[in-house]
Structure 1
Amino acid sequence: MTETHPSSPLAGQPRRATAHQGTVILLGSSLTIVGSVMIAPVLPKLGAEFGPTTPQAAALIPLVVAGPALAIALFAPVAGWLADRFGRKSMLILGTLLYALLGAAPSQLNDLSLILVSRLLFGCAEAMVMTCCTTLVGDYWSGAERSRYIGRQVVTIGVVGSLFFVIGGATGESSWRTPFLLYLLPLLLIPAMALVLWEPQRAPRARRPKAAFGRGILRSMAVAYLLVFAGMLASFVVPVQSPGIVVALGVTSSTLIGLCAGLGLLASLAGSILWPVLRRRLGTRIVNALLLALMAVGLWLLVHAGSYEAVLVAVVIHGIGAGLLVPNALAPLLEYLPEATRARGVGGFTSCLYLGQFASPLVIAAVAGPVQGVPMAITVFSHATLALAAVWLVLGLRRGTPACEAGSA
């Protein structure tokens, strides 16, 4: 009798994904957060080495962390097209290989400009990995099971990010080059990707309908893209601005400043864990209103905090809302996107997510000029976010029961 592999279907039966495929995809998804957090602690050492010899080092060194986010935003739509054209699994394996090699490249470079170029190319590899992993979640699962994996994806990214933030700082004590070598670790994932994952079956090209987005799909894409972009604008304000606000309150301990950032991350994980229950009970639109309201209140409390403890409360409230954002925007999109164009739709979503992250400090800086200061700019931003939450609340109440609108954008 022929033995059938658990992930290999009998003739005529579709394959059913299990925890094996889920584990590989979740670990692959976590590579994007590792791309930035692992080297953030060694930026001062980069400055000490290249600052005296490199013109514009003060401007270039922050881009070593922020540059990949911009590259992801610009390249993710291309990555989605490649995945639709050549296959999700093959592009994921290629992206992971490039991620490891380009991620480790700065450890062998002695020129800050070349390091920055390698980091931008590294961001393109990150875009391939994230787009393909998220698309495979849509390919392998559906309904409630897909929602569970979307939630697990966000939680895994947060947990792994926290872990490698500590690991990056510890390994960077001796040299700024050492953390970059850790980017070679994903090479261990490639054999698992090759053995455990499979390429979703698609109709032969001659019989495949033309890959086009209908009006309803385009509307769902536009809603998801605008929501995640606006949400990331509000979400990224806290990690960028809270250290300065804490210092202005007289707190100079790096441990307490780090605790503030860590608490925000834990709160976002709590939001991601709560998301499936809230979406099932309230529906997508009401959860959109809730998450935007939480972020708006958190931002307002942040700039009006009179003590360190008040800042922590603001960070927790904001973090819970931020943790709800990505899964609640992504889940309806995956439900609407057809298989033939799913990766392109996910690529656009990934692009908007990272564009919002990259643009957030720029928007705050632009608003700060006319309103005379960053605190007032954040206050204005909190009011705008609250107004957007009110719009979603009205839409949710008009739609009706949660069961009717849980799957809609």
Structure 2
Amino acid sequence: MGTVHAMLVLGLLEAFGPLSMDLYLPQLPQLAASLGASEALGQATMSACMIGLGLGQLVAGPLSDRFGRRRPLMVGVAAFALLSVLCALAPSIELLLVARFLQGLAGSAGIVICLAIARDQFEGVELSRMLSLLFLVSGTAPIIAPVVGGQLAGIMDWRGIFWVLGGVGVALLVVVLLAVPETLDLNRRHGGGLRVLAGHTGAVVRDRLFVAVLCAGAAGGVAFFTYLSMSSFVFQEQFGLAPQAFSLAFAAGALANIAGGQLSRLVVRRLGPLHVYLGGITATLVATSTFLALALSGVGVLGVIAALVGFMLCAGIGGPNGQTLALAHHGARAGTASALLGMSSFLFGPVLAPLAAGIGGTTAVTMALTMTIAASVAALAAWLVVRPAARS
């Protein structure tokens, strides 16, 4: 695939995660109320999907190293479409939680395999630039999805949103069938079973740089999921925003995330992935600390939005370069490495963010404190572990 072709196709596949979350985000409080569930259980529907997205990558990534990228991708996309329909028909919060988990398992194939495809075709600085370019496509999903979701809230309930997701899954399946070639040659696939898979996994986790980035990414994932899962309640219930107004505020953060990715692409050739990564991680901590100070002072909604837009901008700067550093030594094992990397980002946030909300409530202070603690851990890991490992 050429650069433009790869950017468009891989960006659409990487959008599985944002689409699964952001399209129904404005209706999260209404979803909980309609099923007679608590806010925590409503938030748990996001956690269930995120956990599925994380665990599913541990299956889809290694399978793509063995069978090629295309076949596991097609199965995952088709299953995502079918499970979206099951979500739409769920009669209870319990069944919806199960369906969301399975939907996440299926959607994980698009996320992890698109990263493996990118690693098949690019490396080093060019891989970092390619991953930044993906934000131009995949990054539009968090902008468009909540805005569209907010508008759809006026004409359909949350069940209708999942019917829309089913249609998106069908459309993406057509894209995969027509536009995604096989990028892993037969001679680069492993033909063994669990023993070879264990060998690949062992080689990845013995890479000190990979493990360092994974740990920092796990902490960053907690900060991001806290923002993702609590913002709907904080903006709509604490600050009184309507679903449409919340969707615009959320879209502003997503647009900042894209801008951060493009800023990274412009400077990475001059500064290198490591320095851009460290700068982005450090700036993320500054942004979350500012958010915490504003939340404690009782500032209005505009100040909170500004701080969160800053957080998303900085996350966009660091993210692609962290992925580049982690995948640097794992060309033939890109699927396995991508799976472990994605799992760390998707698993810890869905567990810790609802726990924080259960203890402190879905308030701006709880949200800001959780994000700041997570960003502090990520910054410490980046400077104390990633930096020495990348230079050794």
Q: TM-score range with shorter-chain normalisation?
A: 0.7 to 0.9
Identical-residue share of aligned pairs (%): 22
Contact 1:364 1:378 in 2 (8 A): no
Matched, 1:382 2:365: no
SS of the aligned residue for 1:203 comes to helix
Q: Deviations over 1:199-249 (max 9, x none)?
A: 22131779999653548962122022112111222334444556677689x
Contact 1:26 1:153 in 2 (8 A): yes
Q: Deviations over 1:234-274 (max 9, x none)?
A: 334444556677689x8433365544433322222211111
**1:8-407, aligned counterparts within 5 Å?**
17-51=2-36, 58-172=39-153, 173-182=155-164, 183-199=166-182, 200-203=184-187, 211-212=199-200, 213-214=202-203, 218-240=207-229, 251-254=239-242, 257-305=246-294, 306-339=299-332, 341-362=333-354, 364=356, 375=365, 378=368, 382=372, 385-386=375-376, 389=379, 392=382
- Specify whether residues 196 and 111 from structure 1 end up closer, same or farther in structure 2 by C-alpha distance, changes over 3 A only: same
- Specify whether residues 304 and 95 from structure 1 end up closer, same or farther in structure 2 by C-alpha distance, changes over 3 A only: same
Q: RMSD between aligned alpha carbons?
A: 3.5
- Specify whether residues 60 and 317 from structure 1 end up closer, same or farther in structure 2 by C-alpha distance, changes over 3 A only: closer
Q: Deviations over 1:108-153 (max 9, x none)?
A: 3434322222111101001112111111111133344432321122
Contact 2:69 2:117 in 1 (8 A): yes
CA distance in structure 1 between the partners assigned to 2:205 and 2:96 by the alignment: 43
- Specify whether residues 390 and 216 from structure 1 end up closer, same or farther in structure 2 by C-alpha distance, changes over 3 A only: closer
- Specify whether residues 207 and 124 from structure 1 end up closer, same or farther in structure 2 by C-alpha distance, changes over 3 A only: closer
Q: What is the letter of the counterpart of residue 147 of structure 2?
A: V
SS of the aligned residue for 2:157 comes to coil
Contact 1:69 1:355 in 2 (8 A): yes
Contact 2:219 2:377 in 1 (8 A): no
SS of the aligned residue for 2:158 comes to coil
| Count of aligned positions | 378
Q: What is the letter of the counterpart of residue 220 of structure 1?
A: L
CA distance in structure 1 between the partners assigned to 2:279 and 2:307 by the alignment: 15
Give 1:25 shift: 2.0
Q: Deviations over 1:265-324 (max 9, x none)?
A: 222221111112333333333333322222222122112223444323322322221112
CA distance in structure 2 between the partners assigned to 1:48 and 1:263 by the alignment: 27
Q: Which runs of 5+ in 2 are unaligned?
A: none
Q: Which has the higher helix share?
A: 2
CA distance in structure 2 between the partners assigned to 1:125 and 1:364 by the alignment: 28
Answer 1 or 2: higher relative contact order, Cα 8 Å, separation at least 6: 2
Q: What is the letter of the counterpart of residue 174 of structure 2?
A: P
Contact 2:264 2:317 in 1 (8 A): yes
Q: Which runs of 5+ in 1 are unaligned?
A: 1-15, 400-404
Of 28-37 and 158-167, deviating more is 158-167
TM-score, length of structure 2 as denominator length: 0.82
Q: What is the letter of the counterpart of residue 74 of structure 2?
A: I
- Specify whether residues 317 and 44 from structure 1 end up closer, same or farther in structure 2 by C-alpha distance, changes over 3 A only: closer
Q: What is the letter of the counterpart of residue 57 of structure 2?
A: A
Of 294-303 and 56-65, deviating more is 56-65
- Specify whether residues 274 and 205 from structure 1 end up closer, same or farther in structure 2 by C-alpha distance, changes over 3 A only: closer
SS of the aligned residue for 2:328 comes to helix
- Specify whether residues 179 and 290 from structure 1 end up closer, same or farther in structure 2 by C-alpha distance, changes over 3 A only: same
CA distance in structure 1 between the partners assigned to 2:117 and 2:177 by the alignment: 14
Q: What is the letter of the counterpart of residue 114 of structure 1?
A: L
Contact 1:368 1:374 in 2 (8 A): no
